[in-house]
Amino acid sequence: MAQPPQTPDLSGLLAQAQQLQQKMMDAQERARQQLVEASSGGGMVSAQVNGALQLTALKIDPQAVDPRDVGMLQDLVIAAVNQALLKAQEMIQGEMQSVAGGMLPPGLF
């Protein structure tokens, strides 16, 4: 005779979900405290971004400052900042995936 289906252990699932949520929050905090850096123009402009996606430092080599070509400097700053933001996003995603152990779909974080 077939046995009736077992009901899932909801309290156990809830506890696991809470543990995963805490681990994710811890990973987010670790990521916020990490810094990544990127540069452009052969290192003439460098940008540092934290895991909260905030620009924390910007360094510009004096040789990159040409009053006759401000547009080039602006482009170098934009390139460095965007690259640093991309690196920070990748770092955050790596932290989240390491905690979730493949349980989350790609691109969620």
Quickly tell me which residue has 């965007």 as its tokens. 82
Q: Provide the pLDDT for residue 4.
A: 64
> Is the residue at 79 inside a domain?
yes
- DSSP-derived pairing of the beta strands 35-40 and 45-50: antiparallel
Interhelix angle 10-33/70-100, nearest 10 degrees: 150
Angle at 34 between CA 33 and CA 40, to 5 degrees: 135
pLDDT tens for each residue of 82-102? 999 999 999 988 888 887 775
Q: Is residue 73 within 8 Å of 45, Cβ to Cβ?
A: yes
Distance CA 87, CA 50 (A): 10
> Is the residue at 76 inside a domain?
yes
Helix (H) or strand (E) holding 38: strand 35-40
pTM of the model: 0.72
> Is the residue at 107 inside a domain?
no
Q: Provide the pLDDT for residue 73.
A: 96
> Is the residue at 2 inside a domain?
no
For residue 78, name the pLDDT band (cuts at 50, 70, 90).
Answer: very high
> Is the residue at 106 inside a domain?
no
Q: Is residue 107 within 8 Å of 35, Cβ to Cβ?
A: no
Question: In this structure, what CATH number is given to the domain that contains residue 81?
Answer: 3.30.1310.10
> Is the residue at 94 inside a domain?
yes
Domain that holds residue 72: 19-100
> Is the residue at 87 inside a domain?
yes
Is the pLDDT score of 30 beyond 90? no
Q: Is residue 39 within 8 Å of 46, Cβ to Cβ?
A: yes
Domain count, the chain: 1
- The pLDDT of 44-64, averaged and rounded, is 95
For residue 77, name the pLDDT band (cuts at 50, 70, 90).
Answer: very high
pLDDT winner (highest mean) among 5-14, 24-33, 72-81 = 72-81
